[in-house]
């Protein structure tokens, strides 16, 4: 009974955080509720952006099953979205979109599989879904890596062994697998199960909000609070503890964000060159 009550309380708390995120800013969140039509239009736009790099995606297996994979190709040759897509584009950083806003399936680049396709995360033999939708587009920056062998000098925790994550707060839903150039605005140092898991806050360079937002102080407090609290609480329905945050839970500014991205890019370069032990990661 105690475990049941605890799970119920955590689910209610997560629901409250979800409500906070949704009510925080009509500009940032309301477009995500407009329906599949806007998402489809955005998908066409973002796949066009991918085409600039000669990149296409190809799915295999059935969605919402363990067999589903979204692979990447360039000129009909299979590529790794993590290793072969450049970190920077013409106007910003290249974000690989793993999870479109207002969806629940926990999709991610499979760092240990050949060519690193996007697949749904599996925990304890079960496909992983969020207990409520994420209100922003979520993905990662290619050619970055949070080194699990490197201790952060101030936070005294090690990297989470993944590419650096991006939370894109623009007005459109971006298609899974799309390559979208983004403008970084700030970064949050999340501590997840004792590991450092940076969350870069960014906006697509072609989004109207990109003209308004240039640094983290330009982002409304309600959006920042929504992001932090969503990531604080999102695992609690599974009886996991709250996530914590470094630097007094503050978002670092864009200058510090650029430094963090550069550090993770350097870590990736060492990994790719063989200077750092890859373990089970696929890096060829």
> What is the average pLDDT across 66-91?
96
pTM: 0.85
Q: Given the structure tokens 């308004």, which residue do they identify?
A: 212
Where does the pLDDT of residue 21 fall: very low under 50, low under 70, confident under 90, or very high at 90 and above? low
At residue 178, the pLDDT reads: 96
Q: What is the mean pLDDT of the chain?
A: 87
At residue 20, the pLDDT reads: 53
At residue 33, the pLDDT reads: 40
- Asked if pLDDT for residue 116 goes beyond 60, the answer is yes
Residues with Cβ within 8 Å of residue 223, at least 6 apart in sequence: 24, 25, 28, 169
At residue 25, the pLDDT reads: 41
Structure tokens given for 180: 């979208």
At residue 6, the pLDDT reads: 47
Q: How far is CA 250 from CA 29, 188, 218, 229, in A?
A: 22, 7, 14, 12
- Asked if pLDDT for residue 272 goes beyond 70, the answer is yes
pLDDT digits (tens, 9 = 90+) for 28-50: 443 334 333 344 333 433 343 45
* Dihedral (Cα; 31, 218, 205, 83), 10-degree rounding: -100
Cα separation of 56 and 24, whole Å?
A: 35
Between 14 and 197, name the one with better pLDDT.
Answer: 197
Where does the pLDDT of residue 51 fall: very low under 50, low under 70, confident under 90, or very high at 90 and above? low
> What is the average pLDDT across 214-231?
97
């Amino acid at each position: 009974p105690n475990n049941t009550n605890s799970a119920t309380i955590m689910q209610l708390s997560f629901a409250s955080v979800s409500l906070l995120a949704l009510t925080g800013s009509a500009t940032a969140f309301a477009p995500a509720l407009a329906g599949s039509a806007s998402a489809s239009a955005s998908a066409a736009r973002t796949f066009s952006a991918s085409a600039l790099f000669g990149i296409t995606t190809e799915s295999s297996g059935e969605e919402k099953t363990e067999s589903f994979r979204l692979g990447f190709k360039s000129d009909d040759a299979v590529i790794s979205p993590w290793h072969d897509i450049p970190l920077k584009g013409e106007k910003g950083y290249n974000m690989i979109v793993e999870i479109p806003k207002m969806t629940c399936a926990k999709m991610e680049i499979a760092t240990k599989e050949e060519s690193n396709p996007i697949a749904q995360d599996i925990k304890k033999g079960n496909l992983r879904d969020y207990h409520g939708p994420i209100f922003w587009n979520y993905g990662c920056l290619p050619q970055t890596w949070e080194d699990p062998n490197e201790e952060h000098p101030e936070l005294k925790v090690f990297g989470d062994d993944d590419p650096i994550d991006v939370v894109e707060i623009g007005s459109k839903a971006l298609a899974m697998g799309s390559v979208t150039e983004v403008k970084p605005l700030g970064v949050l140092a999340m501590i997840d199960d004792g590991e450092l898991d940076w969350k870069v806050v960014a906006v697509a360079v072609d989004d109207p909000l990109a003209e308004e937002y240039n640094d983290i102080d330009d982002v409304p407090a309600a959006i920042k609070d929504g992001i932090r609290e969503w990531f604080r609480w999102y695992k609690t329905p599974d009886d996991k503890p709250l996530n914590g945050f470094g630097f007094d839970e503050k978002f670092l500014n864009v200058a510090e964000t650029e430094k963090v991205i550069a550090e993770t890019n350097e870590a990736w370069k060492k990994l790719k060159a063989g200077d750092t032990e890859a373990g089970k990661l696929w890096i060829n």
